[in-house]
Amino acid sequence: MVIHGWFWDHRVFTPIFDCIDAVNYTYAFPDIRGYGNSRDIAGRHDIAEVAADAIALADRLGWREFHVVGHSMGGKAAQKVAMDAPQRVRSVVAVTPVPASALPFDDAVFGFFAAACEQDEVALTLMGDSLGNRVSRRWLE
């Protein structure tokens, strides 16, 4: 199971699709509720729900045991999947994860992240900052 991060969907992993061994292994690249193909699925949109959805997908796929990879916010979700289904998760790979513990923000930082959910310009600034401002605006869009 490969879980994307905030502001992305499964397509963030497109560059690796030609590199994975799809003959000997099975992969799932789900879109978290509110993103990509799951954009219109209602819910709480929290990490517990992302983890529950991932475990439910593993159930539907018939995966008794599985590995979880998560990037950024998906890394936090991968940790939660392992906490919620420890007997089933064989390993977790967390790529630049948000920590599993609470991440305290002061009001200004929280306001910036909250605004990114509603305002495209703020979201583009946040994404640009997270990439070291090395990519063009067109790429971010």
Question: Within this chain, do residues 83 and 32 fall inside the same structural domain, yes or no?
Answer: yes
Question: Within this chain, do residues 62 and 86 fall inside the same structural domain, yes or no?
Answer: yes
Which strands sit side by side in the sheet containing 66-71, from one edge to the other? 2-3, 66-71, 89-95
Check residue 36 and give its pLDDT. Answer: 92
Residue 128's pLDDT band (cuts 50, 70, 90): confident
Residue 123's pLDDT band (cuts 50, 70, 90): confident
Q: Tell me the residue range of the domain where 137 lies.
A: 104-141
Instruction: Name the β-bridge partners of 3.
Output: 70
pLDDT exceeds cutoff 80 at 1: yes
State the pTM of this model: 0.80
Question: Within this chain, do residues 90 and 111 fall inside the same structural domain, yes or no?
Answer: no
Question: Within this chain, do residues 22 and 61 fall inside the same structural domain, yes or no?
Answer: yes
Question: Within this chain, do residues 55 and 111 fall inside the same structural domain, yes or no?
Answer: no
Question: Within this chain, do residues 95 and 135 fall inside the same structural domain, yes or no?
Answer: no
**Distance of CA 44 to CAs 64, 77, 131, Å?**
26, 14, 28
Total domains present in the chain: 2
The 3 state secondary structure assigned to 100-122 is CCCCCCCHHHHHHHHHHCCCHHH
- Are 57 and 1 in contact by the 8 Å Cβ rule? The answer is yes
The Cα–Cα gap between 2 and 93 comes to 9
Question: Within this chain, do residues 16 and 61 fall inside the same structural domain, yes or no?
Answer: yes
Strand 2-3 and strand 89-95: the pairing is unpaired
Question: Within this chain, do residues 122 and 64 fall inside the same structural domain, yes or no?
Answer: no
